[in-house]
Amino acid sequence: MKSIVLKFPVSQIKNDKDRQNGKLLFSKEVNFLKGVVDVEGLPKDDRVEICFAGRSNVGKSSLINALTFRKSLARSSNTPGRTQEINFFSLGNTNYLVDLPGYGYAQAPITKVKKWQQLLNVYLTGRVSLRRVFLLIDSRHGVKDLDDSIMMLLDQAAVTFQIVMTKTDKSNKIDLTKSLHKTRIALSNHPAAFPEILLTSSAKMSGIDALRSTIANIK
Ligand code: GTP
Ligand code: MG
């Protein structure tokens, strides 16, 4: 009987070495470097850089805190639109972790929203050292139109993105299976999609080790 190959499987830690590499990288010192509001403010692109993108309130800042064993390194909040700058965190002397403002947050003044949007687009498509975009999707809701438009932008710029489903502690098994299915269908149209999906909960610290290992494998 033919075995069914599942496209976009859930990412697992492959072996002990992978786990160790993740632990080792995230045992290094983490510091907030700067918040950037325009292209001129971007730091020199001389480190392995990964960023966290996604709709407002999806859990980007919380995920950075979970990864780095910190409670409030990146400011998180129940109020959408908490992160308003491109925040750079140095990890050891090799990596930058970048916390982005949420897209789709419309309650800010229109001129501000436009400025963020432009900066986000320039950053996401033009940053040479950006190795991978982790695109966060709320596990209760799956891919929305706005997510899809970011994926298209990244396809066009040939920037690899990997889906991280967040807040899995809040979704039951049936909903999670449904939104995973929807997400896999959406990803099949996107050549820049990394072929594995991560499932995480920052609240319960689940899937965080796998994400650490994934990041440590990005050179
Ligand atoms: P913006 O900066 O506004 O774009 O939001 P964000 O994507 O950085 O989200 P943030 O990390 O600020 O989290 C938004 C809300 O979701 C906060 O109230 C968090 O406590 C909550 N949250 C984040 N991750 C999780 C999770 O894994 N589980 C649960 N239950 N809540 C979470
Ligand atoms: Mg944030």
Q: How far is the CA of 128 from the centre of ligand 2 (A)?
A: 23
Nearest to 52 by CA among 61, 65, 40, 42: 61
Stretch 127-135: mean pLDDT, rounded? 98
**Residue 127: alpha-carbon gap to chain centroid:** 16
CA of 59 to the centre of ligand 2 (A): 7
Helix (H) or strand (E) holding 130: strand 130-138
Question: Ligand 1 in contact with 202 (CB < 6 A)?
Answer: yes
Token pair for 77 = 């909040």
What average pLDDT is seen over the chain? 92
Does the CB atom of residue 76 touch ligand 1 within 6 A?
yes
Q: Which residues pair with 166 in a beta bridge?
A: 138
Give the Cα separation of 179 and 88 in Å (integer). 30
Residue corresponding to tokens 């994926």: 151
CA-nearest residue for atom 12, ligand 1, is 76
11 alpha carbon – ligand 1 mean position (Å): 22
Q: Does this model's pTM top 0.75? A: yes
Q: Residue 74 in contact with residue 102, Cβ under 8 Å?
A: no
**What is the 3 state secondary structure string of 153-196?**
HHHHHCCCEEEEEECHHHCCHHHHHHHHHHHHHHHCCCCCECCC
pLDDT tens-digit readout, 155-195: 999 999 999 999 999 999 999 999 999 999 999 999 999 99
Task: Reduce the DSSP state of residue 10 to 3 states and report it.
Answer: strand
Residue 1: its pLDDT value, please?
Answer: 55
Q: Is the CB of 56 within 6 Å of ligand 1? A: yes
pLDDT in tens, 107-118: 777 787 788 888
78 lines ligand 1 (CB under 6 A): yes
Place of tokens 């909960």: 201
